[in-house]
Amino acid sequence: MQLNTALLELGRKDPKLTVIDADIAQSVSSKKFHQAYPERAFNVGIAEQNMFGIAAGLATTGRVVFASTYAVFASMRACEQIRTFISYGELNVKIGASHAGLHTGMDGATHQAIEDVGIMRSVPGITILSPADAVSAKKATLAAAEYPGPVYIRLIRNAIPVIYQEDLPYSIGKAITLQEGSDIGLIATGVMLHRTLQAAELLAKKGIKATVVDAHTIRPLDKETILQVARRTGGLVVAEDHNINGGLGSAVCEVVAEEYPVPVARIGLPDVFGESGAPDLLLDEFGMSVKDLVEAAEKIIRRK
């Protein structure tokens, strides 16, 4: 519902703000904008490729366009349109990519976007945001509207615990450090931030002090913060609800390999497809539990 709230707020401020969806306004939380501003809201039907072509055309007229669909369809079915019509032209289109990761749950492998960050990271010029709760999702949406060029906002389907207060300072490209410690660096994005904070609590009971970072912007990655944590702790664990290949873990490994090599453990989907099931059970089943995070941290500490 925070996306609905953010779009309504943006719609009141900017008469050029336009919203497009592919017949799933209810699912992607853009329905209230359609009701409030029908002259600036378009349902193109189940035609995602056309939707992004239309979004590109509208953006050339000076509009800020939010185009929303499921992450699997945005990143794969319409990849060519996003690449060629939006990113290549540096157009002001914001992509609301819902139902990302295993957290999509019962819809199963066909609807669980586990490759989308890797795909979008390979396309030049696309900013990638991955909020961790409802508050940061609203902040990301508001910030994206003011940020130049194409922005991919990775959103999830199901309710998750709220981590942040409404007065959260949020800036695209600047990671948020939630706690500091010298023994291990825990870097998380999206739904995995809550589990990472739980892991940090368990590690603290064992006398292990962890730095916890919310990498809500995967591109441009906050390299300065990543390297600061690497130097302070000497080892990192990266957690994401995404294939371990191509996502945040890969991005962090690229940074430290080039500038300050330290051991890194990647917690994510181990290069396999997901399956149908309750979201939290799926994360546990595929090696993304709080216990897995704790064990990965202890292993990295032994390697230092």
**Residue 59, domain extent:** 2-154
Domain co-membership, 130 together with 208: no
Does residue 169 form part of some domain?
A: no
Q: Which residues are CB-contacts of 12 (< 8 A; sequence separation ≥ 6)?
A: none
In a domain, 166, yes or no: no
Element (H, E) at 279: helix 279-285
Q: Answer whether residue 254 is part of any domain.
A: yes
> Distance of CA 228 to CAs 180, 206, 259, 288, Å?
11, 24, 11, 25
Contact 270, 286 (CB under 8 A): yes
Asked whether residue 122 is domain-assigned, the answer is yes
As for how many domains the chain has, the answer is 2
Q: From residue 87, how far is each of 96, 121, 155, 161, 251 by CA, in Å? A: 15, 12, 20, 33, 20
Task: Tell me the CATH number at 9.
Answer: 3.40.50.970
130 and 23 within one domain: yes
Task: Look at residues 182, 279, 200, 281 and name the one whose alpha carbon lies nearest to residue 239.
Answer: 200
Instruction: Give the residue among 246, 243, 251 at the shortest CA–CA distance from 267.
Output: 243
**Same-domain check for residues 137 and 12:** yes
Domain edge (last residue) among 99, 122, 154: 154
pLDDT of 1:
46
Report the DSSP pairing between strands 176-179 and 210-214.
antiparallel
Determine, yes or no, domain membership for 13.
Answer: yes
Which among 9, 39, 48, 166 is annotated as catalytic? 48
- Contact criterion met (CB below 8 Å) for 260 and 231: yes
Could you give the residue ranges of the DSSP H alpha helices within 184-244? 192-205, 223-233
If asked whether residues 149 and 195 sit together in one domain, one would say no
- Please identify every stretch of the chain with a pLDDT value under 50, giving residue numbers as ranges: 1
The rounded distance, in Å, linking the Cα atoms of 177 and 12 is: 32
Give residue 157's pLDDT. Answer: 79
Q: Residue 48 catalytic?
A: yes
Q: pTM score > 0.85 for this model?
A: yes
Residues 6+ apart with CB under 8 A from 88: 125
Q: What is the pLDDT of residues 100-136, one digit of tens each?
A: 999 998 989 999 999 999 999 999 999 999 999 999 9
| E strand map for 108-225 | 127-129, 151-154, 176-179, 184-188, 210-214, 217-219
The enclosing domain of 273 has a CATH number of: 3.40.50.920
Element (H, E) at 274: none
